[in-house]
């Protein structure tokens, strides 16, 4: 299920109107490819939760009705922890804030993606560039920061030079957020349809100065838009692509820790393999959910 509308994904070419063309092209193409293989894609349809029979998955409950099934893959990104909490499943996830801006077209600038000291750029189809800092990781202090403090302590220490905490309205928003809800009532995913954090201006200002110092062509370039996004991360920065043994038929594909767009297709393939019991694309053991519950030593990976 995809957030968007209760209609199936239209067959025609999706043309974005907000200027963020390239990321918006990929998801609809994947959706259409899935449809050609028989999948049904629904948008603007929040999934409130799952129903179980004898402890195993028996249905998905959406805001528009119930879908009977025996297998569910949760690929909810930063929403995954909240969804799991309603099932009594503890999934340690925290989110960082990615801040990006895009420029007007620039002449005499690199054609390839480039990263340097305090900046990262990628040329866009319109001749402009997407720009981020690359060396600073902003994160909101939220109730889960305390709930999962011990889980993330080692990763936080390893990344301490790049971490920048923020205190925004998200703390109160998540403090007021329901931790459980009946499936016949409005869920948090309907109360907030889109996780759309504000970009961190100070981080983008630093990126702009660093970029102009490295490539003078960017010195006076016009900034057309800036935006933020939430990146869900696990305590070891390794995804969870795994069954949850306590709820047969329920699988996780979350916590891609900033690499989701790059490794998403392979992660999706592995999630499908694991869910249907097929020969897996790679060894799924490192991605098992049980590493957070069985006493396994959690070893964070930085810089993958």
Dump pLDDT digits (tens) for 214-266. 999 999 999 999 999 999 999 999 999 999 999 999 999 999 988 877 888 89
Tracing tokens 């998200």 back to the chain, one arrives at 170
For residue 299, pLDDT over 80 is answered with yes
Query: Please, where are the H alpha helices in 169-227?
Result: 170-176, 188-191, 201-214
Give dist(CA 193, CA 197) in Å, integer. 12
The residues near 75 (Cβ < 8 Å, ≥ 6 apart) are 253, 254, 268, 271
Of 108, 106, 160, the C-alpha closest to 131 is: 106
pLDDT for residue 146: 96
Could you read off the pLDDT of 147-204 as tens digits, one per residue? 999 999 999 999 999 999 998 889 999 999 988 999 999 999 999 988 889 999 999 9
Contact yes or no for 57/72 (Cβ under 8 A): yes
pLDDT for residue 110: 94
Could you read off the pLDDT of 135-159 as tens digits, one per residue? 999 999 999 999 999 999 999 999 9
Of 29, 78, 40, 77, the C-alpha closest to 62 is: 40
Give dist(CA 1, CA 45) in Å, integer. 7
Residue 24's pLDDT band, with cuts at 50, 70 and 90, is low
Contact yes or no for 162/135 (Cβ under 8 A): yes
Tracing tokens 């959690």 back to the chain, one arrives at 298
Helices 260-276 and 21-36 meet at what angle, rounded to 10? 20
Q: What angle do CA 100, 300, 80 make, to 5 degrees?
A: 60
pLDDT for residue 257: 87
Average pLDDT over residues 21-43: 81
Could you read off the pLDDT of 71-102 as tens digits, one per residue? 999 999 999 999 999 999 999 999 999 999 99
For residue 206, the SS3 value is helix
Average pLDDT over residues 277-285: 94
pTM of the model: 0.85
155, 211, 288, 298 from 303: Cα distances, Å: 12, 21, 21, 16
In the beta sheet, which residues pair with residue 130? 102, 122
pLDDT for residue 26: 77
Residue 12's pLDDT band, with cuts at 50, 70 and 90, is very low
Contact yes or no for 47/11 (Cβ under 8 A): no
Rg (CA), the chain: 20
Give dist(CA 186, CA 193) in Å, integer. 12
Position with higher pLDDT, 273 vs 8: 273
């Amino acid at each position: 299920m995809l957030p968007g509308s209760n209609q199936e994904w239209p067959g025609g070419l999706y043309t974005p109107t907000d200027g963020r063309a390239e990321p918006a092209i990929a998801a609809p193409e994947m959706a259409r490819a899935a449809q050609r293989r028989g999948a049904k894609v629904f948008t603007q349809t929040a999934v409130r939760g799952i129903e179980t029979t004898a402890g195993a998955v028996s249905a998905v409950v959406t805001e528009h009705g119930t879908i009977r099934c025996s297998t569910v893959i949760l690929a909810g990104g930063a929403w995954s922890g909240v969804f799991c909490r309603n099932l009594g499943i503890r999934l340690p996830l925290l989110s960082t804030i990615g801040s990006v801006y895009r420029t007007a077209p620039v002449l005499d600038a690199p054609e390839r993606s480039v990263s340097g000291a305090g900046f990262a750029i990628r040329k866009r189809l319109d001749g402009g560039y997407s720009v981020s800092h690359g060396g600073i990781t902003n994160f909101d202090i939220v109730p889960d920061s305390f709930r999962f403090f011990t889980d993330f302590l080692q990763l936080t220490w390893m990344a301490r030079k790049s971490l920048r905490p923020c205190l925004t309205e998200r703390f109160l928003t998540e403090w007021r957020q329901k931790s459980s809800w009946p499936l016949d009532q409005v869920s948090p995913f309907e109360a907030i349809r889109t996780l759309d954090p504000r970009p961190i201006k100070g981080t983008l200002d630093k990126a702009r100065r660093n970029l102009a110092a490295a490539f003078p062509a960017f010195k006076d370039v016009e900034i057309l838009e800036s935006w933020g996004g939430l990146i869900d991360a696990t305590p070891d920065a390794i995804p969870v692509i795994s069954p949850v043994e306590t709820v047969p038929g329920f699988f996780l594909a979350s916590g891609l820790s900033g690499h989701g767009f790059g490794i998403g297709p392979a992660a999706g393939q592995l999630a499908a393999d694991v869910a249907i019991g097929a020969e897996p694309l790679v060894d799924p053991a490192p991605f098992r959910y049980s590493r957070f519950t069985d006493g396994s030593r959690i070893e964070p990976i930085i810089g993958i």
